[in-house]
């Protein structure tokens, strides 16, 4: 996708959740995480690259001791919107044995990627694994994983913004849009 196409995609897109709605959702998720994890000294793991905006806004709202790390696993490529086999690219680097882990991701779509990540973290010896997602897509299908913390629900459409990309672009938007 080139610059002109990217601008056209945004111009034609439908606003699903405003920037204010996204921030309110992050406040809500942070409060629930504080209630559940503040006494556990958890490891917060961001799933790259989509979780960067979400975790960047979430961490300052968590006023308790924690460790932070990342991992990179994906079923999508930059040049496509189609799914493929899960590819592990990096991390996590912190030892997870007997630690409470919170995986932070941008979207729970079909749940395959996040479910696979959580299963692998359990195999690595995590005492518990929870998942927080900024958005959950309402697919109408049963998912292999239920996120412990969900900020917003989006329709079963291709969405982008606030970490979610469209062909590598528009992760930097403060709101969430659906492709026309």
Q: Is residue 100 part of a domain?
A: yes
Closest listed residue to residue 163, CA positions, set 107, 108, 112, 87: 107
> What pLDDT was estimated at residue 77?
53
Task: Let me know if 172 is exposed, middle or buried by CB neighbors in 10 A (0-12, 13-18, 19+).
Answer: exposed
Q: Is residue 143 part of a domain?
A: yes
> What pLDDT was estimated at residue 1?
82
Q: Is residue 162 part of a domain?
A: no
Provide the domain count of the chain: 1
Please report the sign of the dihedral spanned by the C-alpha atoms of residue 21, residue 101, residue 109, residue 174: positive
- Which residue among 105, 106, 109, 148 is the active-site one? 109
Q: Is residue 99 part of a domain?
A: yes
Q: Is residue 9 part of a domain?
A: no
- The answer to whether 109 is a known catalytic residue is yes
Q: Is residue 25 part of a domain?
A: yes
- The pTM assigned to this predicted structure is 0.91
The answer to whether 94 and 124 have CB atoms below 8 angstroms apart is no
> What pLDDT was estimated at residue 84?
57
Q: Is residue 166 part of a domain?
A: no
Q: Is residue 167 part of a domain?
A: no
Task: List b or e across 41-72, with b for residues whose CB sees 16 or more CB atoms inside 10 angstroms.
Answer: ebbbbbbbbbbbbbbebbeeebeeebeeebbe
What's the CATH number where 133 sits? Answer: 3.40.50.2020
Range of the domain at 118: 19-76+86-155
Beta bridge partners of 131: 103
Tens of pLDDT, residue by residue, the chain (180 residues): 899 999 999 999 999 999 999 999 999 999 999 999 999 999 999 999 899 999 999 999 999 999 999 999 876 554 444 455 777 778 788 999 999 999 999 999 999 889 999 999 999 999 999 999 999 999 999 999 999 999 999 999 999 999 999 998 999 999 999 998
């Amino acid at each position: 996708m080139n610059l002109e196409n990217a601008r056209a995609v945004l111009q034609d897109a439908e606003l699903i959740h405003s920037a204010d709605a996204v921030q309110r959702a992050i406040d809500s998720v942070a409060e629930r995480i504080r209630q559940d994890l503040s006494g556990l000294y958890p490891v917060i793991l961001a799933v790259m690259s989509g979780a960067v905006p979400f975790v960047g806004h979430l961490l300052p709202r968590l006023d308790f001791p924690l460790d932070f790390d990342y991992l990179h696993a994906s079923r999508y490529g930059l040049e496509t919107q189609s799914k493929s086999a899960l590819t592990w690219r990096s991390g996590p680097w912190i030892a997870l044995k007997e630690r409470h882990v919170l995986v932070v991701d941008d979207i729970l779509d079909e749940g395959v990627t996040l479910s696979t990540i959580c299963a692998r973290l359990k195999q690595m010896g995590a005492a518990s694994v929870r998942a927080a997602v900024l958005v959950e897509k309402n697919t109408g299908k049963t998912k292999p994983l239920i996120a412990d913390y969900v900020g917003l629900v989006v329709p079963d459409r291709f969405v982008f913004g606030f970490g979610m990309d469209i062909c590598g672009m528009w992760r930097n938007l403060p709101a969430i849009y659906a492709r026309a």
